[in-house]
Amino acid sequence: MWTIEQLEINGGFLPGLKIPLPHGLICIIGPRGSGKSTLAEALRFAVKGAVGVSKKRLDLLQANVGNNGLVTLTLTTDAGLKHTLRRGLKQPAVLLTGEGRPVSGVDLDRGTYLPVDAYNGDEIESIADQVLGETRRTLLDELRGPELSAIHLSLGEHRRALDANADQIRAARRTIGDLAERIEEFGDVRARLAALEPVEETGPATAHNKALKQQQRNAKEKKRIEDFLQTLQSLKNEAENLKSRIDQARAAQIAEEDSPNLEVLQRRQPEVQKSLSSAVKHLTNAGAAIDAAAATAGQVRADFAEVHAKQTAEFTELQKVHAQADARSRERLELQQRVARLEETEAEQAREKERLAQLLAGRRTLKARFLLEREQISALRDTVAGELTREGRAEQLAVTGSATS
């Protein structure tokens, strides 16, 4: 941790003052007007500078430090390095090493060099009276920086998860709305289908309907056999890729050629090569088996094509025969297809609603975790405040006991 070893003031109200600052609680006692506030403000000025200070403090520094006054701090960094910091009202701040060499690249005028702060009595009482004051929170947070950073990092992850969840919820609601509009476009298609008189399922009409359904089955069969062939080709490619990777592993050199450990590898190399060769052989056999399955599937596709062509020809003839079929049958067929599309849309909407419900339930869990994580900040601040209160009371008792003795 950073420690201030000594404070020195040259010029102003306290010329030639040099005070060593031991570790622990320090009490400055003196009558009114003896310079206690001046000493505190000089220390504060040396630490933070005069950028952004109030007019009251600036007037105090001007009156008691003066234009030619100089405040010097001797301090030790958390890395154990000795530094000397000199600051005056009308001259730039200077930072020196323990050997007296200037330290460059440090912005001293912004008060960001020394990670401490100082407050006068009135400000300390104001901070102590705060419950949710920003200054009080900042001071407490600085005392538990790493823990607070970890909590903020976790909060950031929770916040990003909540944002992603919100995007998904918005997208799901838009999809549900779009599907609702599509469902409305179907209108009363179910009622219109139910109002139609039934078509007699005998004779040529029955044959035509059966042929139409078979055409639909044929389309599905054709797609499935194509998908199956693509799957087999993908498996074959994966097997070939794995063989290539095994070949790369076989060629890999584990030990350095000039290493005395090469003999260790050479004793085991045949066994490794044998195992890898066996793996390549199995993959080769698997590839051949996949090719055989693909060939059989290709024959199935050819058989399907022959059967489908014959059935398509029969369906075409039936279409010709029934080109002038009853308009009611055509309307029924159209309505049946629309009802089928309506059912698909409704099923899709139901799935999206279920997904939305899951997202909303997940959001409640995410928000609960986020709030619990955020509560850790308040709990951490309360813990720090309690520790500070106990330490302050202990130090007060120690000072009181010392004064009594």
Out of 123, 148, 167, a domain closes at 123
Considering the domain boundaries, does residue 343 fall inside one? no
Instruction: Indicate whether 113 and 225 sit together in one domain.
Output: no
Considering the domain boundaries, does residue 20 fall inside one? yes
Out of 67, 95, 123, a domain closes at 123
Return d(Cα 50, Cα 340) in angstroms, integer. 79
Q: What is the mean pLDDT of each run of 10 residues along the chain (405 residues)?
A: 82 84 76 82 81 78 82 84 85 84 75 61 57 56 70 86 93 94 92 77 67 89 90 90 85 72 76 85 89 90 89 84 68 88 94 94 90 82 71 58 48
* H-type alpha helices, 87-202: 121-129, 134-143, 145-186, 189-195
Question: Please, which residues have CB within 8 angstroms of residue 255's CB and are 6 or more apart in sequence?
Answer: 261, 262, 264, 265
Residue type, 338: R
pLDDT of residue 29: 79
Out of 285, 309, 325, a domain closes at 325
Residues 151/373, Cβ–Cβ less than 8 Å: yes
pLDDT of residue 405: 44
Return d(Cα 1, Cα 350) in angstroms, integer. 61
Check which CATH number belongs to the domain holding 70 and give it: 3.40.50.300
Considering the domain boundaries, does residue 317 fall inside one? yes
pLDDT of residue 374: 83
pLDDT of residue 114: 66
Structurally, the chain folds into a number of domains equal to 2
Return d(Cα 42, Cα 36) in angstroms, integer. 10
Instruction: Indicate whether 224 and 316 sit together in one domain.
Output: yes
Q: Left if phi > 0, otherwise alpha if psi is -120 to 50, otherwise beta: which for 25?
A: beta
Burial of 49 (0-12, 13-18, 19+ CB in 10 A): buried
Return d(Cα 183, Cα 190) in angstroms, integer. 12
Q: What is the DSSP letter of 336?
A: H
Considering the domain boundaries, does residue 215 fall inside one? yes
pLDDT of residue 404: 47
Considering the domain boundaries, does residue 186 fall inside one? no
Domain of residue 307: give its range: 200-252+271-325
What pTM does this model have?
A: 0.39
Considering the domain boundaries, does residue 337 fall inside one? no
Radius of gyration of the chain (CA): 43
